[in-house]
Each structure stands twice: as structure tokens, then as C-alpha cells.
Structure 1
Amino acid sequence: MVAMVLLSSTGFMNAQHQIEDLQLTYGEELDNDGYKILKIFGEKNDKIFALALKGKKDFALKTFDSETMQIIGTYSIEFPELKDKDLDFEEIYMLNNKIYALGSVYSKKEKTYRLVGTELSEEGVLGNGVILFESTVDKNSQRGSFYYKKGVNENELLIMHTSYFKKEDAFKYELKLFNDNMEEVFSDIDKVQFDDNKKDFDFNIADFEVNFNGDVFLVTNESYRDKKKKEKVEKFQVFAYKREKSYAKEVIDIQVKDKEIINCELMSTNQNTLKLVGFFSSVRESGRANRNLRGVYEGTIDLTGATEPDMHFNDFDYETKEKLLGERKAKKDKDLKPLYRIHSLIEKEDGGLLILSEYAMVIIGDKSGIGPLGVRPITYVTNEIIVTSLNPDGSIAWTNVVAKDQDATVTELSFNIFFIGSSGNVAVGAGFAIPLTTMGKGPEYLSAIPMYEDGKLYVLFNDNKKNMGVTDMDEIKNMGNYNKAIPTLFIFDENGNLERKDPEEILKNELVIRPGVFYRKSPKDYIIYASRKREDKLGRLKLEAEASK
């Protein structure tokens, strides 16, 4: 039985690769101390900061010299106990040059799930912890999860906790915004009741967001089938909490007819608008949704007026379906399977959007072993990326495909396999991420790093060297051993025309980029992490369009 679940050169450095306009440079080899870098989360005072893990629970702060990228120090993160209970490591963030480590703990006696934020010095010294959440939950197995969104200005942190109350047929969510001192700026809490008698009922907290003004947004979608009227009812809403209005809750209703919303991603723009982007499904005459992906939609909310967005629903065209499904199914106008997630949203220079939708799936295998310590194989799959370019008015400019075939398998303890943000017909689509304890074992080699400049989209990923020059989905071979992968670049111009660029020379034992671990300093400047077996290095990835001209 197998379960399937749907699912970012100096004199001391040497250039490893130049692929077209992308320059990759690396520092010196890092010492092999058993730690694997999980996250690069900031740079300040000529230091790079990263989170690392050794074993199952030994989390550490690592600091590196910004120029040489050599290690400065490794500092174990050991939370103090809270009410005689150990905190489980959750996340780490840098807000306005201050580092905060977050940990959680469940109290069985009080049925309370707490989140604690603790400031961390550059030398790994923990300050006094602050309780950020004390959420009452139903029981340990339904304590839910915390989700995080860092502010655009990197000086605020938006956190949401969700949990399910089975006996009450209710789903609770609690939303809080914290400033760079971990002081609460805003909070809201709600408990949504469900009617189990409704046909094809679904409720989804799709996404949440904080913009450059410090305004907070949450988007939810409740849907069911009205059997008598033979209609699909969609209660698609955005809750807006604006700083200038003292975070009073505004409800923005979005009208959807004869379609089903599959998911939604929020994106705040510099024009003080809020973009809503996602997939939709067609609906039969009976009111039953087909559930497969018919196309992508886009809506824009003008935050100066909070009016209902002008929604645009775009079907996937024949050419895209032919690349993904084959000629026979494309001619029959078949829809895509619901196995794609929004990988990235990029605001174009003309005011339109680039939507990168990646095929993503998690396959959970059978448990082996006896008792609670049995283990399961988990396979992460990240295949092709559909690139959709939207005009400023929401219509499609062009669509193309990044052809790739990637997977990685890890083994995890059965009681902590993977958090699935759902319970029955209730789901949380916000903040999907591979668990921290799984990173460092293979999944971080998957997916891609997109960059955009002067109307061109660059998509960098790891690929099988046998795929050099290949752009056709039908001819792509699986990446296989990611330790032997090569860096590959797909380039799309402003009209969607595709070029594939591979290294001119395949170097023996060259480093392999880990697209799951990077820090975006600017749209054209990234700090990256690369490996070759036991050899690890930090590096810089820069987009330099002038370099190839």
C-alpha cells in the first residue's frame, strides 16, 4: 500500500561555472563536521548566517565570512525548558538584523500548543524567550501546525496557527503579526463551523500575506454542491486587515460561477495591489466539479479601495496540453491532473505576472520495523514546471514548459513522517514546505531557482547529463543520482521562446547546487549552497546580463 500526497568573485573565491548570463562562484571547502545546512537566512556585518542540522535534533547556528565564505563559528541551539518540557525546534528568522529562533511545545494537561520566540546573538547565545502563541487545541494528534510569512521589508513576521476540532466539526485559525522586537502588532482568531450534510464540501485556508505597508491578508475558500439547484457554490473570500484602519477586519467577496477554485496564492505588489493566482476546475451540469486542472486564474484587488477583483480565468491551451499530456489527450481537450503547485510568482516589468507551476508529489511507502520506531520511505517528486506569462489585464501572453524529471527518497520515523495540512474535507494550503529534518538528505537537490531581468526568465535546476540539449518532455530522462547532476538553465524571452543552456564542459566531481537552500539578497544576487558527496561549499549566484554580451 502506497499513499500519495499533493503537494525557494573575490580573490578568495574561484569561478565554478558561467552559464549564459548566470555567474556561479564558490568559496573554499567547508569542514566536514557532520552538519548539513538547511537554510541560509541572512547576511549582516560581513557575515552570512545559516541554520544547520546534525542527526535528528542537533540544530545549530552557523556563521560564515561574507568574503571568503569560510566558517566562522558553529553554535548549537538549545532551548531552555518551558514548564519542564523540551521545546521542539520550529524555525529561524532574521528581522531587521535581529535573529530569532522559534520553538514549540504541547501541554497534555492544559491541551495547549505554545510557540516561543527567542532572540539569538551572532555567537549563538539565547536571550529570554517570549511566548508568542498559547493555542487551545483538541488533543495532541490534532494540535495542528504553525505557518510563517516574513514581511516584504524583512522587519515583520506573520504567523498562523491552525487546528481541527473533530467533535465540534470546527476548524480554528489564529493569525498574529510581530515586529522586529517580537512584539505583537495584530491578532485575529476565528473558528469555522462545518455542515457535514452538504455535498462535496471542502474548506481551504489557501494562503496568507503581509505587504510592505504591514497590511495582513488571508484567503479562504469554502465550496459545496447544491444538489437541488445542480450548482457548485463557491464562498471565495479575502480577509483584509489594514494598518491604517487599525487592523479592522474587511471581507472581500469574490464571485465565482460554474467553476471550482482548486487553490490560491497571494502576492502583494509595489503598486499597492493584491494579486490572487491559482488553478481552477470545470464544473459539470450536475454541479459536481471535475477536480482536474482546467487552467489558471488571476485577480487583482486595488487596496486603495478594497473593491472586488476583476477575475480572469484562462484555460490551458492546446500546445501546453500536447507537451504535458500528448497529442491524443490534447485533441480530446483533457484536463491536467491536480498534481501541480504554484512554485513562484514573479511581477513582470510591464505589470503582468509570470506563474511557475511545478509538478509536485510526495509518495509515502509502507512502514518497516516493529512498533512506533518503524520507518517509512518517502519519495519527493518534482517534475516539469509550467511557465505562464500573463498580460497586465490578466489574459495569457504565452505558455511554455521547463522539462525536468526529478525525485529523491529518504527514510523517516513513522510517527513523524510528514505533516499533511488537512483533515477530511478541511485543508491548509498555506506555507507548504519540506520538513526541516528531511532536508540535507536529498530533497534539497530538487526543484529550481528562477530569476527574472529585462524581460527574460532564467530557470536553473539540476539535471541528468544525458538530457543536455533536450527540451522535449517525452525525451527527458530522470535525474537519477542527484550527486552526479549538472546545472542546467532554461531561458525564456519576452515572447516565451525557449533556449536551453548546459555547461560547455562537464567537470569531473563538480559541485551540485541545492535549489532548496538559498538566500535571495536581490532579484539578481543569491547566496547558494552546493555539494559533492562530503564536500560542501557556499557560493554566490549572480545574474549579469552584460557578461555574455
Structure 2
Amino acid sequence: MKHVISACMLLFVVCTMSAQGKLGPITISYGEEIKEDKEKIVRIAGEVNGKIYTLARKGKNKYFLKMFSSDTMAEIGKQEVEFAEYNGKDLTFEEIIVIGNNLYAFGSLYDRKAKENHLLGFPISADGKISNKGKILFKTKVTKKRERGAFYFKSSPDGARLLIMHAAYFDKEDEVQYEIKLFNESLDTQMSDLEKVPFKDRSDLEFNIADFDVNVYDDIFVVINESYRDRKQKKNIEKFEVHAFKKDKDYAKEIINIDFTNREVINCEILATNKDVLHLVGFYSGVRKNGKANKKLRGIYAATVDVQTNDVKNLKFNKFDYETKVKLIGERRAKKDKDIKPLYRTHSIIEKNDGGLFLLSEYQEVFVGRSQGIGPLSVQPITYINNEIIVTSLNADGSVAWTNVIPKEQKASFTVFSLGIFGFAGGNNFSVGVSVSIPIAVAGKGPEYLSAIPIYENGQLTVVFNDNKKNVGVTDIEEIKKLGNYNKAIPTAFVFDNEGNITRLDPEDLQEERLILRPGVYFQKAAGDYIIYASRRSKDKLGRLQIQN
């Protein structure tokens, strides 16, 4: 999930809310304690007409819609999320999302007889009740349940439209199918397109739907990356392109090629601005003499596209500098010019005031252990590791202004009921890189304490995260201590100046009973207004995080 965010410069003061503490200019304030703490909030859907709507989870698969007052952050209502039966079967819960001034719950179902994957949207009333009448949004043909694919959601910049993509890999047919649709706040379809990509005669083809986005003009962009090796020519063939669907051209498909040689794209994030500019940024690898890509991170590329003409204005490949490599892989390997392991996922992409970008890339590993138990009673151990964040400041032309590293080591281990939550969205050499949010199936289990919240205001980047209290004042990656128990974490902020230098902000006093932030659960209502969630043992509170000028 991308977050293009900023922080307001006003101190939030409400008599019914209490301040938890300060991190330099950052003020964190909370409402009253949430009474039912066993129902952990896993999503903050949005704020509509003075109410904040959140999704809470209890146990294996019970979900509740919890409502809070925007002014006091006090809980004012709760409804269990229950769908009416569809085709005589229960729906699988997918998400709750605010579109314009309307709130919807989304559920999916595989129709075995028709061999279709269905998605329905259900309106939710102001008091949190889900309608019995759902609207069918997708009835996508698939081959079987195991290949039913997955749905991906992305809101428009103003929140008035919702872009949904369904993607699946069909093993027997050896092809990828993806369908994309744009909906208005009444869930009427504004645009629809379905594509199929055969793998025939390209057995080593790697196909990645890298990202997709919609801009303020309701234009849609899908980034596709195909890579395979031509054995006869002994070279790596890279097809990197944007599929554009523009509203003023009745959503006719246009293809924008991003041409380059002797490099391979590892991942991509896309940002469609309100200035008819398309930014593409991510990691790339080098190609060996035998034509094979080495798959390790050589550096960061950046491309800008003029949406009006489809011209690629800038394309820069920026190799990691020596200082950054020393922080990530050590001095000995950096001197040998070794590349970096491909374990960094794009955390955030932020447009700067000067037309450039901030790219935040976080080290992440997810270990899924073997199932223990039989059938529906089996459980799986899972471990999330979220470590350092590479922060890259890019100029408007795609060149690097500076790079620095946020040092942190975070870990969360837990067990979940075995549901095959990892891997059903892809297969073989097919992958979808458009979703970075915590899966619903593991939300509320611990990963939401990890990672970070980036804030951008008046040209300055601030990143807030949980850290070990032994790291107070430490910015050297070689000296940090691991955060093993997130229940004992303290909030920390790193502030970057125009040259990339770090100022670390820690709490003035290390309160033993301080609430612990959950950086994986937050929502930006508007510029400068952050709704956050924090907890500690039996205490759970909704709050706000802001910056004082």
C-alpha cells in the first residue's frame, strides 16, 4: 500500500483527549479507553460525517465494525460484520472501504458450478448495519478454486473512486488473467478491462503486475514487467511497460514502453500526480555476461512519463553509493562492490514539493512454518521481520539527491489457523506486487506493531516507528539493539534535513505504561490529520498524531 502523506502544523487540543507524550514537535493524543479490548482494530476505514469507522477482529474470523466520535475518539457503536447468504453460501470477508461519503463491506465467493470468482459490495448505514442486498462487482471466469486468484483494492486520490483488480494464474492453460474495474461511490462501473497473457513458448517467463493506480482525472495505469532469457542470443529480454486507460479517450488501451538494456527491473511503484506526470520508481539488478540477470539489487531507477503525450521524459539508473552499501552489507563487501539481497519491499513513495520523490524501502522477510494439526484445526507459525528502511531522495529528473538508512530491527512471531493465506494470488513465475498491507488473516496478531509511519510537511520528511528503549539517541546501524518484545517499545521519530542528515527524536521520559503505537494501522483523513491506534495489555485507544510548528 502507498502513502503519500503530510503532517499539519497545528497542535491538536481537545479537552476530552489526553496527550500521551511528545517527540520533539510531534504530539500524540488519545481518546478514552476502548472497553472491549479483545476486539483488536485491524483497519481504519475512514472518517465520514463526524464518525470514524474501523474494523476490529476477535478470534479466528469474527469481525466487527466499530464506530468512534471524530471529536472525542470515544466508541459510539459496534456491529458484527455479517453478510447475507449469496447463492446459498457464506461470503469470505475482504475489506471495508470508504468511497466518497459512503462506506462499503466487500465479500468474495468462488462459484464452483459456474467456475467464477465473485466479488460483492454491501452498503453500510451510518449506524454500522450492513445491507442485505449486495451489488455484484466481479463475476470473473477462473478454472478452479485453487486458481481463483485474489482481489486488490486502491482508492483514487480524492477517495471518490475505487479501483479493483482481480488477478489469477491458470496452471493447465499456462496463462495469467487479470481484470481491472473502476467504480464510483455508488459502486457503478466506470471502466472495465480484462487481459490474458499466455506463457506458451516462454517457459522461463517471469510475469509481474508491478503496480496499478488511478489519478485525479480517473485515468488508470497498470505497470507490467515481463522478463525472460533468450538462450540463442544469450541475453535477458526485458519488457517493461505501462498500460494506460484514459477517461478522455473512452478508456481505450494505450501502451507506454520503458526501453532499456542490460538491466532487469526487480519491482516498481507508480505514482500518478495531478500534473499529468507519471512516476515509476523501484530497484533494478545488473545482467551477467552470459545474459542472465543476477536478481540482486544494484540500485534504484526512476522514470517520469508525460501522460498527455505518453513520452518518457526521464529514465535514470542510480547505482547504490559506497556509504549506503557499507550500512547495508558492511565495509568488506561494499569495497568489493557486491550487490544487495532483494529483501527490500517498497514501503512508501512520496512526492516532494520540488517535483522529486522520496522512496522508502523496508527490509522484510516473512517465514511461514509447517501446519500443525489436522484439517480446519491446524495452525501455522508465522514470523515477520521488518528491519532497516532505505530512504532515497530523488530529484525531479530521476537522479539521486541523497540516500540514508533508518536503522531498526523488528520481529513478530505468532500462529494462525491454516488457511493458505500466502501464495494463492500467484503461481510459478507469476507475481503481483501491488499490495503491501498486512493480510486480514494475520492482522491483529503482531505485524501491525512493526514498520513505520512516514510524514512529509514543508519539505521535511519525518518517520515514526517503534524501537527498543536501549536505542535512545542511537542512529548508527552497527549499534542498534533488536526490538524483540514490541510490548516494551517506545515511539521514535527520525527527521531528515535537505542533505539527508538524521535528527533522532525520543520520548522525554520512558513511561513504563506508555501505549504502544501500531504503525500498520493508521489513516490519513486529510493533509495533517492522522488517526492512529495504540494499545498496551488491556488498554486500547484511538488517537491522533500531529506536528507542532
TM-score range, shorter chain: over 0.9
CA distance in 2, matches of 1:250, 1:457: 35
3-state SS, counterpart of residue 422 of structure 1: coil
CA distance in 2, matches of 1:101, 1:75: 12
Gaps spanning 5+ residues in structure 1: where? 1-7
Does structure 1 residue 451 correspond to structure 2 residue 462? no
Does structure 1 residue 139 correspond to structure 2 residue 144? yes
| Residues 420 and 87 (structure 1), Cα distance of their counterparts in 2 relative to 1, 3 Å cut | closer
Who is 1:165 aligned against?
170
Within 5 Å, give how 1:324-473 maps onto structure 2. 324-419=328-423, 421-473=425-477
Return the offset for 1:379.
Answer: 0.5
| Residues 356 and 61 (structure 1), Cα distance of their counterparts in 2 relative to 1, 3 Å cut | same
Any idea what the Cα deviations from partners look like across 1:353-382, whole Å, max 9, x if unmatched?
100000011011222223453211100111
Higher normalized contact order (CA 8 Å, seq sep 6+, divided by chain length): 2
Q: 1:155 aligns with which of 160, 164, 186?
A: 160
Return the offset for 1:176.
Answer: 0.4
Q: 2:502 aligns with which of 498, 501, 507?
A: 498
- The letter of the residue matching 1:477 is K
Does structure 1 residue 175 correspond to structure 2 residue 192? no
Q: 2:100 aligns with which of 87, 96, 100?
A: 96
Say if 2:344 and 2:361, in contact at 8 Å, map to a contact too.
yes
- The letter of the residue matching 1:97 is N
3-state SS, counterpart of residue 416 of structure 1: coil
Does structure 1 residue 267 correspond to structure 2 residue 267? no
Return the offset for 1:196.
Answer: 4.9
CA distance in 1, matches of 2:431, 2:424: 9
Who is 1:519 aligned against?
523
Say if 2:368 and 2:383, in contact at 8 Å, map to a contact too.
yes
Say if 1:421 and 1:429, in contact at 8 Å, map to a contact too.
no
Any idea what the Cα deviations from partners look like across 1:53-93, whole Å, max 9, x if unmatched?
11222212111111111110001121001110101110111
Say if 1:520 and 1:527, in contact at 8 Å, map to a contact too.
yes
| Residues 409 and 392 (structure 1), Cα distance of their counterparts in 2 relative to 1, 3 Å cut | same
Return the offset for 1:419.
Answer: 4.0
| Residues 309 and 139 (structure 1), Cα distance of their counterparts in 2 relative to 1, 3 Å cut | farther
Q: 2:23 aligns with which of 19, 42, 45?
A: 19
Aligned residues: 537
Gaps spanning 5+ residues in structure 2: where? 4-12
Who is 1:185 aligned against?
190
Who is 2:63 aligned against?
59
3-state SS, counterpart of residue 141 of structure 1: helix
Any idea what the Cα deviations from partners look like across 1:462-484, whole Å, max 9, x if unmatched?
00101111111121111111111
Return the offset for 1:32.
Answer: 2.1
3-state SS, counterpart of residue 448 of structure 2: helix
Say if 1:254 and 1:309, in contact at 8 Å, map to a contact too.
no
| Residues 196 and 362 (structure 1), Cα distance of their counterparts in 2 relative to 1, 3 Å cut | farther
Who is 1:81 aligned against?
85
| Residues 58 and 180 (structure 1), Cα distance of their counterparts in 2 relative to 1, 3 Å cut | same
Within 5 Å, give how 1:185-204 maps onto structure 2. 185-198=190-203, 200-204=204-208
- The letter of the residue matching 2:536 is R
Q: 1:314 aligns with which of 303, 311, 318?
A: 318
State the superposition RMSD in angstroms. 1.3
Return the offset for 1:26.
Answer: 0.7
Return the offset for 1:153.
Answer: 1.0
Return the offset for 1:306.
Answer: 1.2
Return the offset for 1:439.
Answer: 1.2
| Residues 401 and 237 (structure 1), Cα distance of their counterparts in 2 relative to 1, 3 Å cut | same
Say if 2:202 and 2:228, in contact at 8 Å, map to a contact too.
no
Within 5 Å, give how 1:231-270 maps onto structure 2. 231-270=235-274
TM-score by length of 2: 0.96
CA distance in 2, matches of 1:14, 1:500: 24
Say if 1:451 and 1:523, in contact at 8 Å, map to a contact too.
no
Return the offset for 1:420.
Answer: 5.5
Say if 1:102 and 1:115, in contact at 8 Å, map to a contact too.
yes
- The letter of the residue matching 1:72 is I
CA distance in 2, matches of 1:419, 1:512: 31
Say if 2:179 and 2:193, in contact at 8 Å, map to a contact too.
yes
Say if 2:348 and 2:360, in contact at 8 Å, map to a contact too.
yes
Who is 1:476 aligned against?
480
Who is 1:3 aligned against?
none
Does structure 1 residue 38 correspond to structure 2 residue 42? yes
Within 5 Å, give how 1:534-545 maps onto structure 2. 534-544=538-548
3-state SS, counterpart of residue 521 of structure 2: strand
CA distance in 2, matches of 1:45, 1:166: 47
Say if 1:518 and 1:526, in contact at 8 Å, map to a contact too.
yes
CA distance in 1, matches of 2:201, 2:506: 53
CA distance in 1, matches of 2:451, 2:400: 24
TM-score by length of 1: 0.96
Return the offset for 1:33.
Answer: 5.2
CA distance in 2, matches of 1:76, 1:376: 26
Say if 2:531 and 2:545, in contact at 8 Å, map to a contact too.
yes
